[in-house]
Amino acid sequence: MHKVNLCEACSKEKGVQDPTSFALADLLLGIGAAEEIEKGAPAKKCAVCGFSQADFKKTGRLGCSECYGTFAEGLGSLLKAMHKGTEHIGKLPERAQRTMALNNRMRALTENLQKAVADENYESAASLRDQIKQLETDLSNSA
């Protein structure tokens, strides 16, 4: 692929006009990118913002944060091709940190509960069940 950077004046001179007239997704993410998205979610629309894969094909941008879930299947391979990794390992907002801590605690409690039940330690199991219930409330509050 030959890449040319053009300023406004030169782009007019060279007859490159409205960049939105291209399939921006293709331009941005490589040829076939828009189709890739389409394959992942045939005729799917985002429940939150009503964005469709056709819109992505046109603009190369998504409609809202929920679109990442809606079009996850198609986006997966694109993100993989585009970025260094597939998972975020950088900054976490405090809110997310709290939720993650609660989730980790939930996992530990659930494991302990299974173990207590297996060991027929019902007293401890009952206490663990209570703690899990409390944690579920905390989690739904923090979400």
Partner 1 sequence: MKFTSMLSTAGEWLRGEGPHHQVVISSRVRLARNLRNRAFPGWAKKAERTAILEQIRARVEELPEMQDAFSEGLQDLAALDKQVLVERHLISREHAAKGAGSAVVVNRRQTLSVMINEEDHLRMQSIRSGLQLKQAFKLVDKVDTALESKLDFAFDPRLGYLTACPTNVGTGMRASAMLHLPGLVLSELINQVIQAVSKIGLAVRGLYGEGTEAMGNLFQISNQTTLGEKEEEIINRLTKVIETIIDKEQDARQTLLQRKPSTLCDQIGRAYGILTYAHAMPSKEALNLLSVIKLGMDLGAFPEHQRLQIDELFIETQPAHLQKNSQQKLNAEERDYLRAQIIRDRLKIFPKPDISKMVGESGNGLTDAPSTNE
The Cα-based distances of 91 to 59, 76, 83, 87, 142 in angstroms read: 28, 21, 17, 12, 19
Using the minimum distance from each CB to partner 1, give the nearer residue, 22 or 68: 68
Residue 77 makes CB contacts below 8 A (sequence gap 6+) with 36
Which of residues 23 and 60 has its CB atom nearest to partner 1 in the complex?
A: 60
Smallest gap from residue 10 Cβ to partner 1 (A): 7
- Rounded-to-integer distance, Cα 55 and Cα 25, Å: 10
> Where does this chain bind partner 1 (CB under 8 A)?
5-7, 10, 28-29, 48-49, 51, 55, 59-66, 68, 75, 78-79, 82-96, 99-100
Rounded (10°) CA dihedral 98, 102, 108, 112: 150
Q: 103 near 139, Cβ under 8 Å? A: yes
Q: Closest separation between CB of residue 21 and partner 1, Å?
A: 15
Least CB distance from residue 93 to partner 1, whole Å? 5
Cβ proximity to partner 1, 7 vs 118, nearer residue: 7
Least gap, CB of 124 to partner 1 (angstroms): 30
Residue 123, helix vs strand vs coil: helix
Nearer to partner 1, 78 or 116 (CB): 78
